[in-house]
Amino acid sequence: MRNLLVFIFLAAIVSSCGPGQNGELVGVQGRRGFQDPTPYGMVFVPMGKFKMGSDDVDITWSINSPSKMVSIDAFWMDQTEITNNQYRQFVYYVRDSIARRLLSQQIEDFAIEEDEFGNLIEPPVLVWDIPIDTRDEEQQEILSEMYYTKDESFYSRKEIDTRKLNYEFFWIDLQQAAKKKNRWNFETDSYEENAEVINQMGIPVRVTDRSNFIIRDKVNVYPDTLAWISDFSYSYNEPYAANYFWHPSFDNYPVVGVSWRQAYAFTIWRTQYLNKYLSQRGIPGVPEFRLPSEAEWEYAARGSLNHSMYPWGGPYTRNSEGCLLANFKPMRGNYVDDGGFNTVQVGSYEPNDYGLYDMAGNVAEWTANAYDESAYMFMHDMNPDYKYNAKPNDPPALKRKVVRGGSWKDISHFLQVGTRTFEYQDSAKTYIGFRCVRTFTGSNN
């Protein structure tokens, strides 16, 4: 009987070792399967090829979008442009983060300053479970610096000073890290002497460790609401400056007055916001949200109609019943023929074959790419991409970013899927918004 028990015990040990212990190459065991779920508010754009460039006569003879056959990997894309209410979630997060950071400096409960081993955490981790009590006099006093001073307040209103809504974020400069001279030398166990990166101020810095590739940046996140006035001379747009971003009636309208840098910061926040939620539940993180490349944008806008001038197909901006198919300016001074005065609610027109709304008109959209007239000549034909991280001291020509899709104030030429134009990355306009994409990771189930 005793021998039988010993045999059973040994058999149990052997069987518990699993296939990974038998000397065969079976891969790391125990990894969870992954199926990339449909992200909320996004649609799937399958991989494919298309002829990138204009499908119409180049009326300006600028030759800045010649035809080029390219292939694009699969990705997810926001079904609509980012709305005021969606962007407001970002603004409120920044506002609340600043408030909790201020409170944590004097009230310990609002931050965790040490880990479980007693080591200091720098910066402290904010605690979000504790509500802010706006009636508490101590908290009111601490948060007073977030508001306009008495001299700057209007009719003694207590309003957040939007100049202080700055978002600090980080990203890894993989382009500089990938340069051969910047690679780690395993023979000398160090970086090469000529390894250097150009920091955010445009200053060369010798590479000493991985931190040199981690870029620290900061941007004010509040939209430029005054752009409604500055964009149009001798035009009465004060009501839009006062109401467009914050009033509930505009919640589902596309956010405007957002610079390229603000849109880029939004994509980083959106990535961190989701992945933090997933990690707390033991779920694998997802690839980063980002701005689309101009090739991805054009491919998605075509909606599998590879030889059409517009997302809906065909060379016309009206359907068979004479109705306009997008929000733009069809004739001089005629902004209302399409049913809107300037912007309209997202999704007001029919989607293209991929299920994407407003890929033409309403607001033009930022892309990730830097603008160069000859970019089509040197970009690769696999996932074409041309980026440049412009520095503050760079000339304006290097701060141009590609804008696609045309807007409510543009003529139909700019609505064509192959038309490309640009705007400067630090400028904010009432006719430019954005949407996000995320790389499709597939599944291993």
Residue 144 lies in a domain: no
Residue 334 lies in a domain: yes
Residue 111 lies in a domain: no
| C-alpha–C-alpha distance, residues 313 and 58, integer Å | 19
pTM above 0.75, yes or no: yes
DSSP assignment of 116-169, as one string?
Answer: TTSPEEEEEEEP-SSPP-TT-HHHHHHHGGGB--TTT-STT---B-GGG-EEEE
Residue 195 lies in a domain: no
Q: What is the mean pLDDT of the chain?
A: 89
User: What CATH number is given to the structural domain containing 231?
Assistant: 3.90.1580.10
Give the pLDDT band (50/70/90) at residue 10. very low
Mean pLDDT of 221-244: 96
Give the pLDDT band (50/70/90) at residue 64. low
Q: How many domains does the chain have?
A: 1
Q: Worst-scoring range by mean pLDDT, 32-36, 124-128, 246-250, 274-278?
A: 32-36
In terms of pLDDT, which residue wins out, 443 or 4?
A: 443
State the DSSP H helix or E strand holding residue 177, giving kind and residue range, or none if neither.
helix 174-177
Residue 197 lies in a domain: no
pLDDT attached to residue 15? 46
Residue 122 lies in a domain: no
Tokens found for residue 191: 């970086």
Residue 141 lies in a domain: no
pLDDT attached to residue 16? 46
Domain that holds residue 354: 46-83+227-258+292-445
Would the pLDDT of 146 be above 70? yes
pLDDT in tens, 102-120: 998 888 888 887 777 777 7
**Which has the closest alpha carbon to 145: 111, 98, 107?**
98
pLDDT in tens, 130-140: 899 888 889 99
Residue 166 lies in a domain: no
Cβ atoms of 259 and 409 closer than 8 Å: no
Give the pLDDT band (50/70/90) at residue 57. low
